[in-house]
Every structure is written in structure tokens, then in C-alpha cells.
Amino acid sequence: MHIGNYRRRTEAVFLVFLFFLILCIARLFYIQFFRSRYLAGIAKKQQNLFVELEPVRGAIYDSNLKQQAVNIPVDSLYAVPNEIPQKDKEKIIAQLCPILNLERSFLAQRLGRDKSFIWLVRKLSYEQSQAVRRLNIKGLGFLKESKRSYPNSYLAAQVIGFAGLDNIGLEGLEIYDDKYLRGEAGWGIFLRDARQKRLDLWAKMVLPKDGYDLVLTIDETIQYIAERELDKAFEKYHAKGASIIVMDPHSGAILAMANRPTFDLNSYTKADKDRIRNRAICDLFEPGSVFKIVTASAVIEEKKVNETDRFFCENGSYRVANHILHDHTSHGWLSFREVIEQSSNIGTVKAAQILGPQLLYKYVKLFGFGSKTDIDLPGEIAGMIKPPSLWSKTSIGAVPMGQEVGVTALQLASAISVIANGGQLMKPYVVQEVRDKYGETIKKISPVVIRRAISEDTANRVKSILGGVVENGTGKMGKIPGISAGGKTGTAQKLEPNGAYSHNKFVGSFIGFAPLENPMVAIVVTLDEPRPYYFGGVVAAPVFKNVAGDVIKYLKSHQLAEGEMVIE
């Protein structure tokens, strides 16, 4: 009986063990055939670390291949919270807060997550990186990334623009040509040991494709000259804003473009929208008397008026419909040449009345007003000009002298270039070439003639008149010692919110070119609400004089140096 009980117990134990063995075999069978891929995936994730490989963003160079925007290598700090003992986290947070300039709550939240990888700070400064390295904290690591850097800080800030933390363009050329600059990301799989520590071994890798470089038409030296002189006027006359454009009138290439106020590209997060926006292409204003170059060109081209025709300027007061038109200085009889030289509103309007609204509008459009120039920069506006069917009875007394018209500084630069280059409207551009990292040209941008606006004869005759503006007229303060020049002054009243013209808010401007006979540069200067002086001939013409004088000397020396190199 005793032996029988013992045998039954043995059999029961055997059956229990057999049952568990069958369960284990079934479980192994299930894992092997139904869960193997899933579990292998988990093991692979533990052994492998997927890392996106950042491409190097393309550089931006000036026309002489001087760097304006480059990428520099920097450290990005990450943490492995699972490797950091809970008791040490408070101490680590206290050490990192003053170095990284982060709130304690932010670091506590990041380090408190149940993760094997988490970013703490992307793209540290060199000083921050070294300070963290000296702490030698287990569970923290660094990955190399690249950061956008702008060697000239403020220079051409609104033109170049900036790229964000992930090297994606946000403003200016950085966003407009982002498709060229950004490149294509690669990826790699790191091997890790049992403690999740990254090994310097790759399982697989696809290399990133670096971005292309841009070569600009902008010349760093000319840009500096333009910004230096614009700064002086902006501060001297306490202006609300200011813009300057230096253009090659024969090609449309922008040699310099600047705005005030401005900002530091390396600290763009601290700048407001007023500083970031490119006023030269996105601010609309009535041009005032600089617009008279269109009226003068139109009446001469249509042979309605010639330079010697005389106009009675009504001693400074002239009725157009129900509006009384005034000159800033009373004039009697003036030749048409003198009308433009002395910037007589009345004489200009009388000439436009001979021409008529339809023909005047035709030339306004031929000169490019009311349409975008299609410059290769973001944010350009088209300006505004109403068709004659929408003109009032007083419009013929307003449009010829630059009222009831909305323009940009860039449109004025294109318009004055028409006079300077012999009558052709050129498409302005700031990028002349796209290159790869080996210097091979990917895309070449050539000058584009949009259309012929006026004949060469008319352009030369108006050019001569504008030379008289600088020599004898309202633009005397734009006269360049030793260099002939032509130009036109403008002083435009701004509109108040109620639609009336202001008596204390003006835009002072000057448009011109030099040398007179064979212009090398066309320049536009505008100052928004300068004070106490506001006449364009006083606040803007001297900027033109200083910039044109220095730029022409620079260009001539540059050409001479290139000639000597060719001879050698």
C-alpha cells in the first residue's frame, strides 16, 4: 500500500513536469514561428541606433567669393535618462542650469522621461560645450551638427536672410533658394553594446548630399560703402526707415541693397519684424518728384514736347479741376529742361496734359510700375497704379508728379536704369551662379531684358536733363567731385489714416546714375520720415554723392587690377 502511494505520487509529479515541459515547448514553438520577427526587431533596436546624417548647407558668397553665410561644426547635447541614477539627477540639473541657461523645470522634465535618447540642447556654443565636457557626467553625450554662421553680422541682412535651428531657410535668400542650399539628409545605423553605449561601428550608411553654394551679384565692399553712408543719414535725420540700392544699370545685377533699421543675422531671434523685412522690395510709398522721369521720357518719346519748349508755371499756383496745385518755389516761364531741373510740379503737369492720361499710363507700365520686377528675393510687392478709366478729374494733376502711384525702391532703381542704359528695362537679380562643392556651375543666371521702354535717343536726352538736375537744379547736393552724374530728387507727402496728405511726414528720395555719359551704377536712396529736414535733395542726395563717388573709384581700381592680372 505504501509502495502504491509512492508510485502514484511519483507519477503525479512526473505528469506535472511533463505538462510544464509541453507548455514550454509550445511556448518556444509559438515564439519561434509566430513572434520571432517581433522579438528580433526589439533586439535589433536595442543593438542598433538610427541616426539621421545632416547635410552641410550650401554657403553664400559675394561676387568676389567672400563668405557671407557658412556652416560651422558644433556640439549638440543629448542625454540617456535610463543610465542616470535617480539620486544623481538633482545634482546634474543644478550643474547644467547655469551653463545651458535653461529653467530647472525643463531639465527635470527631460531627464525624468523613460527614454534611452533625448535632446537637451541643440547646437551649443563652444564655451557651453567645453563647460559641460569638464563636468564629465555619465549619461550625457555629444553629437556633431552644423550651425549657420554669418561672418559679417549685419551686412546685407535682409537680402541674405537666415536659416533656423534645423538649417532650413526662414528669410531672404536663405528661404528663396532653400531648395539649392539645403541638400538631402543621409542616415546611418550605429551598433550599440549591451549597456546601450554607442560603438563607433556602422551597420549601414547612406551619405548625405550637401547643398549647393550661391554666388551673389552683391559686392561686399560696395555693400559696406552703401550701408555706411545710409547709416549716417538714417541717424542724422532720425528717420523712421531707410533703403538704398546700387544696381548695374546695364545688366540689372544688384551690387548692394540695404535697409534701416537692421539686425544681426547671428542673433535673428532677438529682431522684430520691422527690422527683418526688406523695405526696398516690400514697402509701398508714393514716389513724388522722382517719378517725373517717366513723364519727361513719355512726352519726349511721343514728340509732344522737347527740351526747349517753354511753360508758364503760373508763379506757383495752378488749378486742375477742383484742386489747386502748388510748386515748392514760385516759377514764371521755364523751358521743359528747366521744369525738370527745378522740379516744377506745374510745368510737369502741363506737359502731361498735352500727352494725355492713356499715353502717360502706357509709359508708367513700360517703366515697370504696377508690376513685380520678379527679383529673386521673397516678399516683393507689385506696387499700385490705377488704369485711366479709374482716374478722377484731378489724377492728371497728380500721377505725373508721383502722386496716386505706389512704388517700391527696387522699381525706382529699375526705372532710373532705363535712362542710364539707353532705354531698356532690365530684370534685377541678386544671384548670379549656383555651384556645387567642387566649384562646378550648376546654374548660371544671365541678364534679362524685359522690354525696351523708350528709344535710345529719348534715354540720352532725358539723361542730359537729369545731368542738369545735379549741376544746376534741385540735386546739387548730389554732385560728385570729379565725376559727372545725373539724377532726380523727390519729396513725397505721406498719407494720413484719413486719406489726406500729411504736412509733417515725408519720404525724401534721390535716384541717379554716374558717370553721366557711360553710367557704371544706378542708385536709389529713400528716407522715411526724416526730420527736421525732409527734402530729398537735402537728406538723400548727399548719400548718393558719397556712395557713387566711392563705388566708382572702387570699381575702376577693381577693373584696373583685373586688367593687370590679364596682362601678366
Q: Of 216, 231, 252, which marks where a domain is finished?
A: 216
pLDDT tens by residue, 509-541: 999 999 999 999 999 999 999 999 999 999 999
Mean pLDDT, to the nearest integer, of 386-414? Answer: 96
What stretch of H or E contains 489?
strand 486-495
Share of the chain above pLDDT 70, in %: 90
- Check residue 435 and give its pLDDT: 96
What's CA 126's distance to the chain center, in Å?
A: 28
* Residue 352 grid coordinates: 502731361
End-to-end alpha-carbon separation of the chain, Å? 122
Report the C-alpha gap between 125 and 433 in whole angstroms.
Answer: 32
Report the C-alpha gap between 179 and 374 in whole angstroms.
Answer: 18
- Check residue 152 and give its pLDDT: 95
Report the C-alpha gap between 159 and 162 in whole angstroms.
Answer: 9
- Check residue 35 and give its pLDDT: 59
- Check residue 332 and give its pLDDT: 95
Report the C-alpha gap between 259 and 279 in whole angstroms.
Answer: 6
- Check residue 56 and give its pLDDT: 87
Angle at 164 between CA 162 and CA 166, to 5 degrees: 140
pLDDT tens by residue, 195-249: 555 545 455 666 788 899 999 999 999 999 999 999 999 999 999 999 999 999 9
Residue 483 DSSP label: B
Residue 553 has pLDDT above 90, yes or no: yes
Same domain, 76 and 9: no
289 among known catalytic residues: yes
Report the C-alpha gap between 133 and 140 in whole angstroms.
Answer: 9
Q: Is residue 44 included in any domain, yes or no?
A: no
Residue 214 DSSP label: E
Residue 261 has pLDDT above 70, yes or no: yes
Report the C-alpha gap between 435 and 117 in whole angstroms.
Answer: 37
Residue 506 DSSP label: E
Same domain, 297 and 357: yes
The pair phi, psi for residue 444, each rounded to 5°, is: -115, 130
* Residue 563 grid coordinates: 586688367
Q: Is residue 244 included in any domain, yes or no?
A: yes
Output 3 or 566, whichever has higher pLDDT: 3
Q: Is residue 549 included in any domain, yes or no?
A: yes
Mean pLDDT, to the nearest integer, of 50-58? Answer: 76
**Helix, strand or coil for residue 488?**
strand
CATH number of the domain bearing residue 168: 3.90.1310.10
Please, which pLDDT band fits residue 167 given cuts at 50, 70 and 90? Answer: confident
| Among candidate residues 399, 414, 389, the one with its CA nearest the CA of residue 298 | 399
Output 67 or 112, whichever has higher pLDDT: 67
Output 231 or 18, whichever has higher pLDDT: 231
Please, which pLDDT band fits residue 568 given cuts at 50, 70 and 90? Answer: very low
Same domain, 26 and 89: no
- Check residue 262 and give its pLDDT: 97
The listed range with the strongest mean pLDDT (82-86, 193-197, 438-442) is 438-442
Same domain, 174 and 224: no
Report the C-alpha gap between 389 and 402 in whole angstroms.
Answer: 18
Are the CB atoms for 246 and 280 separated by under 8 Å? no
CATH number of the domain bearing residue 381: 3.40.710.10
Same domain, 186 and 80: yes
Q: Of 200, 216, 232, which marks where a domain is finished?
A: 216
Please, which pLDDT band fits residue 18 given cuts at 50, 70 and 90? Answer: confident
Q: Which of 330-339, 412-421, 426-435, 553-562 has the lowest mean pLDDT?
A: 553-562
- Check residue 412 and give its pLDDT: 98
Q: Is residue 428 included in any domain, yes or no?
A: yes
Q: Is residue 358 included in any domain, yes or no?
A: yes
- In the chain, the amino acid numbered 447 is P
Mean pLDDT, to the nearest integer, of 466-474? Answer: 96
Output 281 or 79, whichever has higher pLDDT: 281
| Among candidate residues 517, 524, 544, 414, the one with its CA nearest the CA of residue 463 | 517
Same domain, 183 and 201: yes
- Check residue 36 and give its pLDDT: 59
* Residue 471 grid coordinates: 549741376
Domain count, the chain: 3
- Residue 509's DSSP bridge partners are 490, 526
- Check residue 25 and give its pLDDT: 77
- Check residue 38 and give its pLDDT: 56
* Residue 490 grid coordinates: 523727390
> Whole-number mean pLDDT of the chain?
89
Are the CB atoms for 177 and 169 separated by under 8 Å? yes
Q: Of 193, 216, 239, which marks where a domain is finished?
A: 216
Q: Is residue 45 included in any domain, yes or no?
A: no
Are the CB atoms for 109 and 152 separated by under 8 Å? no
Mean pLDDT, to the nearest integer, of 247-273? Answer: 96
**Helix, strand or coil for residue 37?**
helix
pLDDT tens by residue, 287-328: 999 999 999 999 999 999 999 999 999 999 999 988 899 998
Same domain, 73 and 129: yes
Report the C-alpha gap between 568 and 202 in whole angstroms.
Answer: 52
How many Cβ atoms sit within 10 Å of the Cβ of residue 253? Answer: 22
Beta strands in 266-396 (DSSP E): 310-312, 317-320, 323-326, 333-335, 384-385
Are the CB atoms for 294 and 367 separated by under 8 Å? yes
Report the C-alpha gap between 176 and 163 in whole angstroms.
Answer: 11
Report the C-alpha gap between 235 and 191 in whole angstroms.
Answer: 59
Handedness of CA 278, 281, 287, 289 (dihedral sign): positive
Same domain, 126 and 73: yes
Please, which pLDDT band fits residue 112 given cuts at 50, 70 and 90? Answer: confident
Same domain, 173 and 243: no
Same domain, 20 and 59: no
Are the CB atoms for 159 and 190 separated by under 8 Å? no
Query: Domain containing 384: what range?
Result: 220-265+279-567
Are the CB atoms for 157 and 264 separated by under 8 Å? yes
DSSP 133-200: HHH--TTEEEEEEEEEE-TTTTTTHHHH--B-TTS-B-SHHHHHTHHHHS-B-EEEEEEE-TT-PEEE
Residue 12 has pLDDT above 70, yes or no: yes
Are the CB atoms for 348 and 292 separated by under 8 Å? yes
Report the C-alpha gap between 350 and 305 in whole angstroms.
Answer: 10
Same domain, 458 and 522: yes
494 by Cβ neighbours in 10 Å (0-12 / 13-18 / 19+) ranks as middle
Mean pLDDT, to the nearest integer, of 347-376? Answer: 97
My answer on whether omega of the bond before 249 falls inside 30° of 0, hence cis, is no
Active-site pick, 243, 289, 414, 417: 289
Are the CB atoms for 337 and 133 separated by under 8 Å? no
Q: Is residue 557 included in any domain, yes or no?
A: yes
Helices 2-34 and 36-47, packing angle to 10 deg: 70
CA Rg, the chain, in Å?
Answer: 35
Same domain, 11 and 96: no
The listed range with the strongest mean pLDDT (35-44, 118-127, 244-253) is 244-253
Question: For the chain, what's the residue count?
Answer: 568
Please, which pLDDT band fits residue 30 given cuts at 50, 70 and 90? Answer: low
Q: Is residue 42 included in any domain, yes or no?
A: no
Report the C-alpha gap between 234 and 539 in whole angstroms.
Answer: 9
- Residue 312's DSSP bridge partners are 333
Q: What is the pTM of this model?
A: 0.85
Q: Which of 126-130, 164-168, 231-235, 559-563 has the lowest mean pLDDT?
A: 559-563
Mean pLDDT, to the nearest integer, of 552-557? Answer: 94
